[in-house]
């Protein structure tokens, strides 16, 4: 069990904010941490890693990492950290990057094999693609057999295909080593695939905590197919109205009645939903 109870005053873009988090995580759990930018996700990871100070306590499997008297330095915490921008040593080969953490060739070999990097072990990071670099940094983070693996949007710089591939490798590593993991992510499909639990931070506080399905299926009542968008226009056609809504990169049209059109305002955020029985699904 990892027990976290920390407080820290932050000075963000939107003025001061209290990061105040109480969180218990079971050993071996894979937790996704999500929330708007500026909600305190990265700061929380940095506090857990010992890279930032805070008040409060952190204990991991009974060992105190931080309390009112002590705070272990990052090197003493059994942590693996994967950053969005890889943070590899450019002057070392792939294998040397791993062995720098721990002179454990057997483990390095196993990790490189699990992530299909063994062919590339002598290459320098500058010759690798983004996906390959991130796999190396994932392996490196596992080299000291961490009790807690922290990942800060590890896949957000990668293209969708590479992202899916790495998700499978992260899952494979998690299965093999059972490392308790906290991953910051904004991608619902990624969270659904990898995590058993989602914690949503907002303004420094946990506002939601549950299974990916419960948290990510944005539903009210019995609507199962629900998206948020911006209402761009309402056009009257015959006795009905067409609402034009931007959802992500796409525009959609929804038929609304006269009375509904009167209650809507151009520019407002809207949810577009229907029951699970209505949408058609076709392979592309």
Helix (H, G, I), strand (E, B) or coil at 266: coil
Helix (H, G, I), strand (E, B) or coil at 5: strand
User: Closest separation between CB of residue 139 and another protein, Å?
Assistant: 39
User: Closest separation between CB of residue 275 and another protein, Å?
Assistant: 5
How would you classify the pairing of strands 225-237 and 240-247?
A: antiparallel
Residue in this structure with the two tokens 């590339």, named with its chain if needed: 120
- Inter-residue contact 58 to 66 (CB < 8 Å): yes
Dist. CA 81–CA 137, nearest whole Å: 8
User: Closest separation between CB of residue 258 and another protein, Å?
Assistant: 7
Nearer to another protein, 121 or 218 (CB): 218
User: Closest separation between CB of residue 211 and another protein, Å?
Assistant: 12
Nearer to another protein, 172 or 276 (CB): 276
Nearest residue to 181 via CA among 211, 153, 151, 209 = 151
- Inter-residue contact 199 to 208 (CB < 8 Å): yes
Dist. CA 169–CA 218, nearest whole Å: 28
Nearer to another protein, 247 or 264 (CB): 264
Start-to-end CA span in the chain (Å): 44
Nearer to another protein, 90 or 265 (CB): 265
Contact residues for another protein, defined by CB under 8 A: 219-224, 238-240, 255, 257-260, 275-278
Nearer to another protein, 1 or 276 (CB): 276
User: Closest separation between CB of residue 24 and another protein, Å?
Assistant: 23
Nearest residue to 48 via CA among 38, 177, 31, 35 = 31
User: Closest separation between CB of residue 68 and another protein, Å?
Assistant: 40
User: Closest separation between CB of residue 51 and another protein, Å?
Assistant: 40
Nearest residue to 2 via CA among 42, 48, 67, 71 = 48
Dist. CA 177–CA 189, nearest whole Å: 23
- Inter-residue contact 16 to 10 (CB < 8 Å): yes
Nearer to another protein, 97 or 273 (CB): 273
Nearer to another protein, 72 or 217 (CB): 217
């Amino acid at each position: 069990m990892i027990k976290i109870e920390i407080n820290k005053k932050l000075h963000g873009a939107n003025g001061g904010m209290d990061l105040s988090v109480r969180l218990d995580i079971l050993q071996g759990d894979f937790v996704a941490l999500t929330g708007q930018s500026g909600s305190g996700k990265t700061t929380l990871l940095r506090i857990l890693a010992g890279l930032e100070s805070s008040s409060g306590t952190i204990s991991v499997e009974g060992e105190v990492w931080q309390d009112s008297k002590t705070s272990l330095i990052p090197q003493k915490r059994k942590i693996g950290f994967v950053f969005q921008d890889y943070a590899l040593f450019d002057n070392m080969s792939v294998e040397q990057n791993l062995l720098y953490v721990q002179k454990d060739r057997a483990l390095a070999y196993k990790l490189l094999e699990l992530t299909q990097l063994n062919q590339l072990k002598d290459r320098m990071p500058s010759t690798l693609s983004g996906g390959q670099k991130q796999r190396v940094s994932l392996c490196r983070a596992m080299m000291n057999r961490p009790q807690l693996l922290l990942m800060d949007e590890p896949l957000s710089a990668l293209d969708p295909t590479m992202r899916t591939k790495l998700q499978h490798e992260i899952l494979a590593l998690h299965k093999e080593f059972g490392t308790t993991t906290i991953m910051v992510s904004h991608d619902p499909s990624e969270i659904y695939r990898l995590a058993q639990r989602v914690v949503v931070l907002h303004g420094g506080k946990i506002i939601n905590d549950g299974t990916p399905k419960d948290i990510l299926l944005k539903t009210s009542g019995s609507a199962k197919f629900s998206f948020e968008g911006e209402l761009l226009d309402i056009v009257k056609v015959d006795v009905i109205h067409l609402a034009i809504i931007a959802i992500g990169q796409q525009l959609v049209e929804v038929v609304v009645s006269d009375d509904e059109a009167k209650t809507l305002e151009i520019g407002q955020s809207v949810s577009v939903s229907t029951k699970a029985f209505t949408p058609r699904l076709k392979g592309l």
